Amino acid sequence: GEDVEQSLFLSVREGDSSVINCTYTDSSSTYLYWYKQEPGAGLQLLTYIFSNMDMKQDQRLTVLLNKKDKHLSLRIADTQTGDSAIYFCAETHFGSGNTGKLIFGQGTTLQVKP
Amino acid sequence: SAVISQKPSRDICQRGTSLTIQCQVDSQVTMMFWYRQQPGQSLTLIATANQGSEATYESGFVIDKFPISRPNLTFSTLTVSNMSPEDSSIYLCSVEGGTGYEQYFGPGTRLTVT
């Protein structure tokens, strides 16, 4: 079945890089996503990557995808206290019988220490 | 990205009552999704709502408990019926973005059932 796993907690110092990891089981995944949820708020789409890509960079964010190992990571450069939040990895596949349903990981709480 | 609003933002309800949550989008969208986020948990898809057709429910969710309306391309409602404390969650609606591969979320409705 479909499953997405993340480590639950990561603590870094302000200015360091953060790397949040995610593994998934569905080999037919076509799009993989990273969402950010701040306390009391909804989900903010940070970035997404198509499964035929290895890497995507967007300002301080770098997404790496290892399709063979079904491993996705999100690197945040120069982490700031405003980056403290829960980060969710999600995957979906588009095709017969699927309408874009997202399967989410449990979320990784990122704590940034000043 | 789509601008999504939800009403109410939060509510405290008594056991056995029902609550209807509204989701409004600032542009016409084909697909709308309703997710549940139980306390400290990840998100789980409840159902997918297309305009003009019956909602499609995920395993473990039924129409009698979570009736959904989708009267037009910018609006949907989710009703949580005959509530129990186990229904205490954040309920989020989401919509597909312009490319069809992005999915944007509303701010959520935080429901507490006493």
Contact A107 B44 (CB under 8 A): no
For B97, name the nearest residue in chain A, comparing CA atoms only.
Answer: A45
Non-local CB neighbours of B96 within 8 Å, separated by 6+ positions? A100, B29, B30, B31, B102, B103, B104
pLDDT of residue A99: 60
**If pLDDT is split at 50, 70 and 90, which confidence band does B54 have?**
confident
Q: Tell me the pLDDT tens digit for each residue of A35-75.
A: 999 988 889 999 999 988 999 999 999 999 999 999 999 99
Of A50, A100, A107, the CB nearest to B103: A100
Cα pseudo-dihedral B85, B86, B90, B94, rounded to 10: -130
Q: What is the mean pLDDT of residues B5-30?
A: 96
Compute the half-sphere exposure of residue B29: CA atoms within 13 Å on the CB side of its CA: 31
Q: What is the mean pLDDT of residues B6-25?
A: 97
Q: Which residue has the higher pLDDT, A18 or A28?
A: A18
Question: What are the φ and ψ backbone dihedral angles of B83, each rounded to 5 degrees?
Answer: -70, 150
Q: How far does the CA of residue B84 sit from the closest CA of chain A (Å)?
A: 22
Distances (CA, A) of A111 to A13, A20, A57, B97: 8, 12, 22, 30
Q: Is the dihedral of CA B102, B28, B78, B65 positive or negative?
A: negative
Residue A1 has pLDDT above 70, yes or no: no
Q: Count residue pairs from A and B with Cβ separation < 8 A.
A: 56
A106 touches chain B (CB under 8 A): yes
Write out chain A residues lying below 8 Å of B112, CB-based: none
pLDDT of residue A78: 97
Q: Which candidate in B36, B42, B104 is best for mutational testing of the A interface (most A CBs within 10 A)?
A: B42
- In this structure, what DSSP letter does residue A52 have? T
A101 touches chain B (CB under 8 A): yes
Q: Quick check: A18 and A12 in contact, CB under 8 A?
A: yes
**Nearest in space to B110 (alpha carbons), one of B30, B25, B10:** B10
For A109, name the nearest residue in chain B, comparing CA atoms only.
Answer: B40
Distance of CA A95 to the CA centre of its chain: 22
